[in-house]
Amino acid sequence: MGDLTTFEAIVIAIIEGLTEFLPVSSTGHMIITQNMLGVESTEFVKAFTFIIQFGAILSVVVLYWKRFFRLNRKPAPEGASALRRFLHKYDFYWKLLVAFIPAAVLGLLFSDLIDEMLESVEVVAVTLIIGGVFMLFCDRIFNKGSEETELTEKRAFWIGMFQCISMIPGVSRSMATIVGGMAQKLTRKAAAEFSFFLAVPTMFAATLFKLLKLFMEENGTEILAANLPALLIGNVVAFIVALLAIKFFISFVTKYGFKAFGWYRIIVGGIILAMLLTGHSLSI
């Protein structure tokens, strides 16, 4: 018997697919969902919330495959070194790597602390509210992007630094990286699309790390074997749902901005926090 039933895996995966690319925190919503379903927070379940995000980010590769698999066709600057010519040709992937490195380093250093926070619904509720209040004003603060703004290595690095904030459950990787892009003068649409692209190496690395960590646990092979159906179902469901969510999000945020998501975060976080403070169980 696995740690998750088929029903539980499907429900959590639907939540992941819906929220991975919305600035509402997919990890936070999955933690809330687990508590509502009464799912025990085992090592596998904590890994599951990361691993099925890989299914969701594969939807980015499918929807944007022409832009994701591309090389720089422009000639390199005259007199450029061999290394600079190489980086120029693979410019898109180089900038993804630059943006990915901060989260990769901090993720390895603080892996245990991140796992501890994954068990705290209180952290999720508070960060949902704080992030929601911020999102009510972020359009006014950062909405000065230009179509002419180039995504440089420096801008990519700072977006990667913003991504590190999302290691706190409830913050939202999507929100952190999109705001990071807008802070670097990118338009909302350009910032959102780079956030999607950055999710691919980030969640691919997180998936491999969690699988390796789980495999190295005592009886890790048996745990993975027992829960393999849940992993497969979770990734497939998250992939399909995320395909629909991405199209909705790009259209909505380009036209209306982030205020609606801010109010949603405040309401959900406030309800969860009120229930916790009054001693009510989240289980259904």
- The stretches of the chain forming alpha helices (DSSP H) are 6-19, 26-37, 43-63, 65-68, 82-89, 91-109, 111-117, 121-142, 153-165, 173-183, 188-215, 220-256, 259-277
**Cα dihedral sign for 232, 234, 235, 237?**
positive
Q: Which of 50, 23, 36 is nearest to 115 (CA)?
A: 50
Number of domains in the chain: 1
As a whole number of angstroms, the distance between CA 265 and CA 132 comes to 5
Residue 284 lies in a domain: no
Residue 1 lies in a domain: no
pLDDT given for residue 159 in this prediction? 96
pLDDT given for residue 1 in this prediction? 46
Q: Which domain holds residue 69?
A: 6-277
Residue 177 lies in a domain: yes
Q: Which two tokens stand for residue 125?
A: 């509720």
Residue 274 CB coordination number (10 Å): 11
**Cα dihedral sign for 115, 56, 214, 225?**
positive
Mean pLDDT, each 10-residue run in order, the chain (284 residues): 83 92 87 88 84 88 86 77 83 93 90 80 91 89 77 94 91 91 89 90 88 82 86 94 87 83 94 88 68
Distances (CA, A) of 180 to 26, 108, 123, 165, 195: 18, 22, 22, 10, 9
Non-local (6+) Cβ contacts of 91 within 8 A are 72
Non-local (6+) Cβ contacts of 60 within 8 A are 68, 196, 197, 199, 200, 246
Residue 282 lies in a domain: no
pLDDT given for residue 2 in this prediction? 62
pLDDT tens digits for range 44-67: 888 898 889 889 888 988 988 888
